[in-house]
Amino acid sequence: MPDMQGKTVVVTGGNSGIGFETASALGSMGARVLVTARNADKGRAAVAAITQRLHGEGRVQLVVFDLADLASVRAGAAEILDQAPRLDVLVNNAGLVLTERAETVDDYEATFAINHLGPFLLTNLLLERMVASQPSRVVNVASTAHNAARKGIPFDDLQSATRYRGMRVYGQSKLANILFTLELARRYEGRGLTANSLHPGTVRTGYGSDGDARGLLGFGIKIASPFFLSAAKGARTSIYLASSPEVEGVSGEYFVKCKPRQPRRWAQDPEAARRLWQVSEDLVGLAPAGTD
């Protein structure tokens, strides 16, 4: 088991599923873990459960904010920076799949906003602290669902306003996770920060049981869920990328079952990755970093 003593880790969506197991495992290695959640009660319950697992020895704290609200993300990032003088690992784990189109408080399509724009903004707001804490790691939980985005990122319709299909839009958001990772790795090469993405496997995470997935998709998820991986097994690659000495210095890769794999060709497009970064900066209100 890797030694994470003295390291501080942030796990988004750490109140349930893969995020909960990731936070628990990294805490058991000695890391100080900041668990983020959008619901304070669920977050507090998760922190209590993780602390109990660690027999009271872990240092687990809660930061409450909502990835669907960019102002909330900024407030959450500020709290993280206030609580963490150093920041070694960020695991962008939180996400969702929707079968019906919805919009956030910022008037953005919810799947793209929550799965990509929120994590993009959070990561950028924490990057300076992470570089100062080097070597540091960003771990982005993507998915083989990016296979569904064969036409790439729909830059002419990022908000899926013309035609909405839940799994296609979800796949596009997971493609965005991989492209974001690719460009982040390029921009921060040689600066002590690595970025990798992963597919966790098909995991029982609660999709289809919390009202997000409805209709045939929700029914299909419920029927198939007994055959899905447990959250603990699904968290293995996230834990590996966050802690293993084997991937020290490895950056810009996509992992499946703790091994690097080639994602689809549309997830290896450096020009699309650059464009997505620039568009995302504009959408979340970040000034360009000036790094090409």
Q: Mind telling me the catalytic residues?
A: 170
CA nearest 183: which of 274, 278, 287, 283?
274
Beta-bridge partner residues of 199: 256
Rounded distance between C-alpha atoms, residue 12 and residue 60, angstroms: 13
Pairing of strands 193-199, 259-261: unpaired
Beta-bridge partner residues of 256: 199, 259
The count of C-alpha atoms lying within 13 angstroms of the C-alpha of 13, restricted to the half-sphere facing its C-beta, is 22
Q: Are 107 and 161 in contact (CB under 8 A)?
A: no
Q: Are 247 and 241 in contact (CB under 8 A)?
A: yes
DSSP H or E segment with residue 12? strand 8-12
Rounded distance between C-alpha atoms, residue 91 and residue 71, angstroms: 20
Burial class (CB in 10 A: 0-12, 13-18, 19+), 9: buried
Nearby residues of 227 by Cβ (< 8 Å), 6 or more positions away: none
CA nearest 215: which of 174, 164, 173, 166?
166
